[in-house]
Amino acid sequence: MKKSYQIEDLDCANCAAKIEAAIKKIKGVENASVSFMTQKLVIETNADIDMIMAEVKKVVKDIEPDCTIIL
């Protein structure tokens, strides 16, 4: 399953790259891509999306507390 989410206040391109790398490491995530330019997260997973997104939120909060994912 492929889903895309809007990210708000993603201010630096380097952080986008860090967030992307961290999300890819979450168990159950097949692939993830964070685009700084479009402020979008595209995530591919076969696991339960709600569980994954809860984990994603944690990761994002840790790296860039200012930015939020719109679910």
The residue among 1 and 21 lying less far from another protein, judged by its C-beta, is 21
Amino acid in the structure at residue 28? G
Three-state DSSP class for residue 15:
helix
Among 36, 47, 49, 68, binds another protein (CB under 8 A): 36
Asked if 63 is part of the footprint of another protein (rule: CB under 8 A), the reply reads yes
Q: Exposure pattern of 17-56 as b/e (b: 16+ CB <10 Å)?
A: ebbbebbeebeebeebebebeebebebebeeeeeebbebb
Asked if 1 is part of the footprint of another protein (rule: CB under 8 A), the reply reads no
Among 25, 27, 50, 65, binds another protein (CB under 8 A): 65
Query: Where does this chain bind another protein (CB under 8 A)?
Result: 4, 11-14, 17, 20-21, 33, 35-38, 40, 42, 62-63, 65
